Amino acid sequence: MDDNKIVELYWNRDEQAIAETSDKYGNYCFSISRSILHNQQDSEEAVNDTYLATWNAIPPHHPLNLSTFIGKICRRISLNKWRSQTAEKRGGGEVTVSYDELEECIADDRSIRETLDEQMLAETIDEFLATINETQRKVFVCRYWYFDSIEDISSRFHFSQSKTKMMLKRTRDKLKDYLIKEGVIV
């Protein structure tokens, strides 16, 4: 079903909207959630919570890009679930590693999680991503938006793990320079 029709179902408060969302975006949401939570049951719960949150968000919102809208909701819910699960035990995992890597270039007196939530930073990072080539941008987004492992990214782009790590390091260095230039960090 077309995204506009799905949004219309939400606006009409038709429960079929959730079924259509699940059919069209269920795998997409599960992929986002699984890359953050690494647990089948938790991911399924986060995806179901995503459908409820989408139901509650439309209306009043009228998303222009439904997949992005749903993806952001699913990512936020999954990250919140991950944070609550790891509040007492700080284990490994790609989310922790990804945050640690990004913290090198955007950390300040606040935690990385607080910093990442700021709208200005998000807009500045979006602007930065527009300045780098498409492959660098895709690799960066895979790592820091979807929390894909180095191994998965290397496989997807047919790079060695060493090349992937170096590309990410150079992109983080460029991001740090860009954030300094833009006055976001000192």
Same domain, 177 and 100: yes
Query: Which residues, including other chains, have CB under 8 Å from residue 40's CB and lie 6 or more apart?
Result: 34
29: confidence class by pLDDT, cuts 50, 70, 90: very high
Q: Is the pLDDT of residue 75 over 50?
A: yes
Residue 180 pLDDT? 84
Residue 14 domain-assigned? yes
Residue 122 pLDDT? 74
Same domain, 27 and 72: yes
CB 148 within 8 A of CB 35: yes
Buried (b) or exposed (e) across 20-34, using 16+ Cβ within 10 A?
bbbebbbeebbebbb
Same domain, 160 and 114: yes
Choose the final residue of a domain: 85, 106, 137: 85
Q: Pick the residue with more confidence: 5 or 88?
A: 5
Residue 186 domain-assigned? no
Phi, psi of 169 (to 5 degrees): -60, -45
Q: Pick the residue with more confidence: 79 or 19?
A: 19
Same domain, 107 and 79: no
What are the tokens at 98?
Answer: 């990804």
pLDDT in tens, 83-114: 787 654 544 556 666 666 666 665 554 455 55
Residue type, 98: S
CA–CA dist 118, 14 (Å, integer): 34
Residue 58 pLDDT? 93
Residues 67-93: what's their mean pLDDT? 77
Residues 114-134: what's their mean pLDDT? 76
Count other C-beta atoms under 10 Å from residue 76's C-beta. 15
Range of the domain at 161: 94-181
CA–CA dist 182, 122 (Å, integer): 13
Same domain, 98 and 132: yes
Angle between helices 16-37 and 66-85 (to 10 degrees): 50
119: confidence class by pLDDT, cuts 50, 70, 90: low
Q: What is the CATH number of the domain that holds 153?
A: 1.10.10
Q: Pick the residue with more confidence: 12 or 84?
A: 12
115: confidence class by pLDDT, cuts 50, 70, 90: very low
Q: What is the CATH number of the domain that holds 68?
A: 1.10.1740
